[in-house]
Amino acid sequence: MAENEQLPDKLDVARYLLSQGSVFVHLDPRDVGVVVPQWYRTEPQLVLQIGLDMPVPIPDLRVDEEGVYGTLSFNRSPFTCRVDWDAVFALAGDDGRGMVWPDSMPEEISQEIEREAGRAAPPDPTKDLPEERPSLRVLPNVEDAEREDTTPREVSTKRGELPPYLKVIK
């Protein structure tokens, strides 16, 4: 994306993704505009799943100009959360599509991404495969294998006839 192009508004992306299903909200829980359970407040990243049709419903879910608000379930205990848009750095739908706002990303997460990008790319599993796959062939049946001549042979049958190695069982 060109530097002068502006990323879409977080609210617009969130509303679009919500219309498709649930949304994974990636945020920095240390931000002053965030209210989440205390044990998450020291981490550089927290991912909350919100949606209109969740297994544990969020009846007070609100996604507006200020951010995300709703009573979420943490270890089967309800907790009313508030997340300002400034703390959100990525939104993703159920299908993995979404948007990342790099300027909102915590420094620790940015550094980790840069470290991972600097590592060697994983090896290509198709690199050593032959260009052309071998063709399939008919192998001799067990009785033929007992003979000394075990070279594979072609079995030809007329239309409607079964090859000798198949039996019809009624």
Closest residue by Cα to residue 22 from 14, 34, 32, 30: 14
Count Cα atoms within 13 angstroms, Cβ side, for 165.
12
Q: Are 27 and 48 in contact (CB under 8 A)?
A: yes
Tell me whether residue 24 is in a domain.
yes
For residue 37, being part of any structural domain is answered with yes
- Provide the CATH number for the domain around residue 82: 2.30.30.220
127 exposure class (CB count in 10 Å sphere: 0-12, 13-18, 19+): exposed
Give me the number of domains the chain comprises.
1
Percent of the chain with pLDDT over 70: 68
Confidence of residue 44 (pLDDT cuts 50, 70, 90): very high
The structure tokens 């089967």 sit at 76
Instruction: Confirm whether 58 is domain-assigned.
Output: yes
Kindly state whether residue 141 falls inside one of the protein's structural domains: no
User: Could you tell me if residue 143 is inside a domain?
Assistant: no
pLDDT in tens, 60-118: 999 999 999 999 999 889 999 999 999 999 999 999 999 999 999 998 888 888 888 77
Residue range of the domain that includes 22: 10-118
How would residue 29 be classed by pLDDT, with cut points 50, 70 and 90?
Answer: very high
